[in-house]
Structure 1
Amino acid sequence: MTILWALVAGLVVGLLAKLVLPGRQPVPLWLTVLVGAVGAVLGNAAASYFGVRHTGGIDWIRHLLQVGVAAVLIAVVSPAYAARNR
């Protein structure tokens, strides 16, 4: 069940990251989910490092870090994926 939640979180974080980035990213859905999951894990690690992983209420800073890291990863992966498929 943990793997299923990781995939769902990766999908949500990855799609939000693509939404934040300007323009079109030629990245398939499977890669969006993978990058989103990695972004979520690295965002959680960054939130723990900064001491904002667990706050009162909704952890907005942690979620912003997750989406931000995933957006950076998609910005890096997208041109490489587009160049590979030419």
Structure 2
Amino acid sequence: MSVAGLVTALLVGVTIGLLGRLITPGRRDAPIWLTVSVGVVAALAGSILARLADVDTGLLTLVIQAGLAGTGVVLVVTTARPQPSDSP
């Protein structure tokens, strides 16, 4: 994986992490660092998956990255539980 591929995956992951948090309806109990982290990790996994599938076009790799990042962020945001409060 090239440096450009890593930077692209990082940018896609951060963007999808932030957008996914903003467009998901209802309460957002997942912290923003978690959604961005999941987006970045999923986008990197998308890069690896595209490389293993021998995908040569940049646009298709970008679509795979965004798809996996979006799926991961939506799963995290929708399954997050509220944090218990420490006050009695």
TM-score bracket, normalised by the shorter chain, equals 0.5 to 0.7
- Which consecutive residues of structure 1, in runs of 5 or more, have no partner in the other structure? none
SS at the partner of 1:84? coil
Distance 1:42 1:63 in 2: 12
Distance 1:36 1:45 in 2: 14
Residue matched to 2:52: 49
- Which consecutive residues of structure 2, in runs of 5 or more, have no partner in the other structure? none
CA 1:25–1:65 in structure 2 vs 1: closer, same or farther (change >3 Å)?
A: farther
SS at the partner of 1:43? helix
- Which structure: larger Rg? 2
Q: What is the CA deviation profile of residues 24-44 of structure 1, one whole-angstrom value per residue up to 9, with x for unaligned ones?
A: 572443222201111111100
Residue matched to 1:78: 77
SS at the partner of 1:63? helix
TM-score if structure 2 supplies the norm length? 0.62
Residue matched to 2:68: 69
Residue matched to 1:60: 59
Distance 2:52 2:68 in 1: 14
CA 1:32–1:6 in structure 2 vs 1: closer, same or farther (change >3 Å)?
A: farther
Whether 1:14 aligns to 2:17 is yes
What code does the residue aligned with 1:85 have? Q
Aligned residue pairs total 76
CA 1:15–1:62 in structure 2 vs 1: closer, same or farther (change >3 Å)?
A: farther
Q: More helix per residue: 1 or 2?
A: 1
CA 1:65–1:24 in structure 2 vs 1: closer, same or farther (change >3 Å)?
A: farther
